[in-house]
């Protein structure tokens, strides 16, 4: 087995076809960045967008059987050159901007083998190091071409591709089942909250949310996202962080302390509630001790419960259907829905006595902790399956699997 540079194995075509349509050009379907990023295979069933292209672009970028597409731009260097394989000719479908077409020289290399080789850790590390940029990263033509791939006789390449197609399909099916289980468990958590909050106890008061928060710390949204990740800076909680519940420092973006210093008023402290107000609006999380001093983006609202209110209970109340329904009905926006801070402040909460709040929290915390333990175990299994998948691809392409060597001899 020898290694060769990618430019000697494929014809590299960096697309120039934009999403815009122009009079006088030919109508085409466009395979875009997200089509490649989210799909291992590019087929006619995908919902391609419509655009236009020149005759020269049609001739150069129409997708053919055996092509491999890669994403040549990304927000981070470690998430670049994601590959997808084209199993059949796609007449009228062109590669869009931010993508590169790798067209195998079929006497030298098999397209499916190229796809799997590009999925190995070694090649992905090459592209991560070769990507250039500050706030956005890109791969130039020469950086793509200089990646090295292990090369064998083409019949062996096809057997390796066949093997990986079958083995990864089984692993992917397992991953899909585990992810479905995790989704069902999350739904069970929401059902537990809904059941607990469905019938307010007698003696509840109907109180607007603004009167359940500290007067000195009003409900407010955070700063406009100030730019690139700033290592060692101030933790920044975004709407997606609230939705996923991943409020831990190692998973958050960080902002420049110099920029953040003018937004001290919107910082959070332990026990505060963060509420997603745009996109995944309605997602709720409680700020842990280690994130005291973190800031929030413009997609997140801070809610600081009064001392007389159990903050955990208020977080549960805000995620209950009675609250999300009355807040969501006022959500605005065409493609990305958002909640107005004023409407959030005026949301009416059914407030029981403090001892009732405490008992409800104890019960729900116990129920949800049990579910969270199962979710964590399921997530761990998913991570393990992804690692197994990656190790299998690396070993197969590098010729390190005994079962591969045995099959290639027959």
DSSP codes, 323-348: HHHHHHTT-B-SSS-B--HHHHHH-E
Q: Is the pLDDT of residue 95 over 50?
A: yes
User: Residue written as tokens 């902790």?
Assistant: 369
* CA distance linking residue 161 with residue 159, whole number of Å: 5
pLDDT tens digits along 294-310: 999 899 999 999 999 99
The region, left, alpha or beta by phi > 0 then psi within -120 to 50, assigned to residue 62 is beta
Residue 265 pLDDT grade (very low, low, confident, very high; cuts 50, 70, 90): confident
Has this prediction a pTM greater than 0.85?
no
**How far is Cα 176 from Cα 9, in angstroms, rounded to an integer?**
34
Phi, psi (rounded to 5 degrees) for 221: -95, 175
**Is 205-351 the same fold as 2-151?**
yes
Q: How far is CA 74 from the centre of its chain?
A: 13
**CA distance linking residue 268 with residue 275, whole number of Å:** 12
pLDDT at 157: 95
CATH class name, domain 205-351: alpha beta
Sequence spans of domains, the chain: 2-151, 153-187+359-410, 205-351
> Which pLDDT value is given to residue 146?
96
Question: Rounded mean pLDDT of 46-71?
Answer: 96
Question: CA 194: distance to chain centroid?
Answer: 27
Q: Residue 129 has which token pair?
A: 């190091």
CATH superfamily of 2-151: DNA methylase specificity domains (3.90.220.20)
- Per-residue model confidence as pLDDT tens digits over 252-261: 888 887 776 7
The whole-number average pLDDT for the span 189-197 is 88
CA 67 to the chain's CA centroid: 26
Task: Enter the tokens of residue 28.
Answer: 């085409």
Mean pLDDT, the chain, rounded, equals 91
120-162 confidence digits (pLDDT tens): 999 999 999 999 987 789 999 999 999 999 999 999 999 999 9
Query: What are the tens digits of pLDDT across the range 315-340?
Result: 999 988 888 888 888 788 767 788 88
Beta carbons of 382 and 178 less than 8 angstroms apart:
yes
Tell me how many helices (H) and strands (E) the chain has.
13, 22
Asked if the model's pLDDT at residue 372 lies above 60, the reply is yes
């Amino acid at each position: 087995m020898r290694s060769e540079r990618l430019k000697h194995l494929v014809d590299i075509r960096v697309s120039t076809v934009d999403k815009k349509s122009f009079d006088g050009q030919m109508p085409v379907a466009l395979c875009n960045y997200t089509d490649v990023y989210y799909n291992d295979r590019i087929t006619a069933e995908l919902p391609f967008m419509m655009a236009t292209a020149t005759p020269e672009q049609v001739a150069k970028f129409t997708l053919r059987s055996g092509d491999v597409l890669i994403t040549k731009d990304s927000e981070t260097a470690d998430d670049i050159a994601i590959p997808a394989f084209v199993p059949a000719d796609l007449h009228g479908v062109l590669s869009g901007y931010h993508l590169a077409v790798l067209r195998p020289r079929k006497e030298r290399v098999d397209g499916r083998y190229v796809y799997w080789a590009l999925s190995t850790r070694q090649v992905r590390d090459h592209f991560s190091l070769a990507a250039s940029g500050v706030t956005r990263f890109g791969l130039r033509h020469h950086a793509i071409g200089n990646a090295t791939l292990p090369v064998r006789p083409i019949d062996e390449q096809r057997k390796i591709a066949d093997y990986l197609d079958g083995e990864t399909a089984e692993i992917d099916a397992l991953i899909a089942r585990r992810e479905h289980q995790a989704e069902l468990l999350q739904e069970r958590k929401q059902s537990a909250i809904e059941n607990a909050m469905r019938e307010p106890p007698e003696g509840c008061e109907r109180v607007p949310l603004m009167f359940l928060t500290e007067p000195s710390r009003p409900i407010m949204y955070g700063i406009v996202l100030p730019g690139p990740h700033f290592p060692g800076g101030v933790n920044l909680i975004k709407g997606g962080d609230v939705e996923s519940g991943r409020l831990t420092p190692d998973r958050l973006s960080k902002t420049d302390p110099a920029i953040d210093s003018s937004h001290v008023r919107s910082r959070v402290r332990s026990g505060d509630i963060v509420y997603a107000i745009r996109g995944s609006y309605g997602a709720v999380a409680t700020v842990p001790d280690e994130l005291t001093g973190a800031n929030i983006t413009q997609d997140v609202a801070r809610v600081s419960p009064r001392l007389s209110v159990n903050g955990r209970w208020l977080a549960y109340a805000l995620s209950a259907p009675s609250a999300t329904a009355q807040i969501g009905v006022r959500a605005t926006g065409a493609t990305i829905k958002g909640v107005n801070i004023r409407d959030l402040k005026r949301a009416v909460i059914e407030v029981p006595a403090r001892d009732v709040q405490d008992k409800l929290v104890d019960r729900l915390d116990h129920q949800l902790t049990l579910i969270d333990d199962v979710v964590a175990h399921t997530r761990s299994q998913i991570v393990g399956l992804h690692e197994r998948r990656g190790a299998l691809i690396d070993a197969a392409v590098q010729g390190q699997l005994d079962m591969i060597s045995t099959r290639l001899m027959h």
